[in-house]
Every structure is written in C-alpha cells, then in structure tokens.
Amino acid sequence: MLLTPSGRGGLYLLLRTLPQKRVIVPAYTCKAVIEAAILANKEVVYIDSSPGSMNMDVDQLGAALTDSTIVVATHQYGIPCDIERIQQLCTDHGAFLLEDCAAALGTCINGRPAGTFGTAAFFSFDSTKLIHVPMKAGFVGTNNLDLHNRIEALSATVLRPMGIARKLTLLFQALILLSLESPILYRLFHALRFGLRGQYTSETSELSLELTPFHINQMSEWQAKIAVEQLGGVGNLVHQRQAVYNVMREALSNCTKFCLPPADSNCEWAPIRFPILCQNNKFDVYRAGNRRGIDFAFSFTNISCPTTMIHARLYASQVLDLPFYFKLSERDLTKVIQVVGALGQ
C-alpha cells in the first residue's frame, strides 16, 4: 500500500506507471478520472452505463478489450459494479484491471473486499468519503510486487513535500468545513456560494489538464495520522452507513417519482451516497426540498463523456443525492424521509 495526495493522485501514479496506452472508463464518472488518464498520456475510451445501473455496462466491454488496455472498474458511490464479470473478461483478453475504489472503502462483493479483484486499486480520503482527511488524501494498493516497486520509484520522482503555505491553506479550509456544520453558517454559505449566483453545483464538464497539488504533493504526516485514527473505527462507520441506507430504501419504497438505488441484499456495501433518480426535473425537486429545509447534493451532473453515451447522460440529468453522512441524527433522518417521501408521491 502506498499513500498518495488524493484518489486522483493515486490513479495518476498508477496510469503513469503502466505501459498500456488505452484506458477504458465508465461514461458516468468523476471528471478527475478522465483528467488523470489524459495527464498520464493515455487514450480514453468510454463505456456507457448499463440500463438500471450507474456502473459500467459490462455487455459493451468485451469488444473494447485488448492486451494494451487498462480497465478502470468503478464501484460508483460504493455500490459495486459487476466486478466478477469484468475480472473474467480482463483475464480472457489480457487487459489490466484497475479498480476505482475512491468511494468503495469497506464495500464487499460476495464476501471479498472491493479493491482485491484487480491487479491494482486506488482509494480516496476526501471530505465526502468514509474516511476523510483535510482536504484530500488517498492510497493505492496492488498484489504485484514489481508494480508496487515501480509506483514507489515513480512517486519518489513525481511527489514533493507539502510546503508550509499549502499545509496552512488545508487547515484553514478544514476549519471552514467544520464551521459549516452550524445550520446558520451553512445556510449563509449556501446562499452566497450558490443561491445568489443562481447556481446549484460548482461542478463543470470542463476538464482541467494541469497537474495540481492533489496530484503531486506528498501526504503530510498529520494527514496520515488523521486517516489512521479513523481507520480503527471503519467497521462502525460501515455498519452505520448500511443501516441508514436500508432505512431510507424501506421508508421511501412507495415513492413513484423517484427510482431508488439498488438493495444491498447481503448487507455488504459501504455506500457514501444515497442517489435517487428523479423522473421529473431534478432541479424542481431540489428547489422544493430546499424550501422545506432539505438540501441535496449534486454528483456528476456535468459529465465529460461524449453525448453518444445515452444512459450515462440520462443518469447525470436525473441523479440527486440525499443527505447521507456519519453525523446524520435520527431526527434529521426522519425529516429527510418525510420531506423526500412527500416529494416522491
């Protein structure tokens, strides 16, 4: 395991290390994945989402595979993709399987942890994830000792120590995030950052093709210490997320205007989001919820894939994320369910 500046930084290092020239990615994904691939001088190939899932359509994957391809298999929001089929296809075609576990730390598939199906995987510790470090961090893992050594060697040349100004900036940003736990300060921030500007999200589809500190700054010792302290309680965090996920699915099962995320029938996942698909205009749903005191999150509304990726584009237009985080109280959860349940009828 190697610590990295962020999830995207880990992916960048992995792709820089690997000789294959083509990278296959899910069309519905964070643009940081696309940016890392291009920065690593790879050709990006998109696979559309499957009908009924925000993950990659495995039926389309086989025709794109060769021994010169890398497959980035993403467990979107911590909800597993069909990783066992993807693994078999990669084995059959000699392709390199790289798991995107940025959102899937703690998720299992048939008793096996996400991140152990491919030859390598990368994970993220940013503020939206199960383990969160100001402002971002991550790690990569591989079961191939030679690859591990090559990534480590590349890291020694690419990564540089974080300067004092950068450390102070991260600490200041972390303090701002903590202050926004106050409902009054959050509403003020939201009004200034989005409401007065007529915006819903800061996401854009425009790619940023320059290396950032999240690609090239070493994780600092204090960031690593914060991550390690949280890792000791990751089991409890997983169980808490699973419990809230199941409560939300059960309580909102009668909604007709939303499609809910899939059921975790084996209680194995560690989701970081509870994404719903709005059958009507999601911005209308957002505004209606906001008026009733419920804020939603926007994930990948503005994606970077070609317009021919029909299902991915459809999901991007429909997905809203319900409040779903480790400090969600029972009272808050009840209010979320009541408001969203009413909007979904």
pLDDT (mean) for 186-198: 79
Tell me whether residue 17 is exposed, middle or buried, using C-beta atoms within 10 angstroms of its C-beta: 0 to 12, 13 to 18, 19 or more: buried
CB crowding 93-123: b at 16 or more within 10 Å, else e:
bebbbbbbbbbbbbbbbeeebbbebbbbbbb
- Which of the 8 DSSP states describes residue 202? S
pLDDT band at 179 (very low <50, low <70, confident <90, very high): confident
Rounded to two decimals, the pTM is 0.93
d(CA 7, CA 19): 20
pLDDT band at 185 (very low <50, low <70, confident <90, very high): confident
Per-residue model confidence (pLDDT) at position 78: 96
Per-residue model confidence (pLDDT) at position 154: 97
d(CA 74, CA 59): 15
pLDDT at 196 > cutoff 90 = no
pLDDT at 171 > cutoff 90 = no
pLDDT at 46 > cutoff 90 = yes
pLDDT (mean) for 197-203: 80
The DSSP annotation for 215-280 comes to HHBPPPHHHHHHHHHHHTTHHHHHHHHHHHHHHHHHHTTT-SSEEPPPP-TTS----S--EEEESS
Per-residue model confidence (pLDDT) at position 173: 83
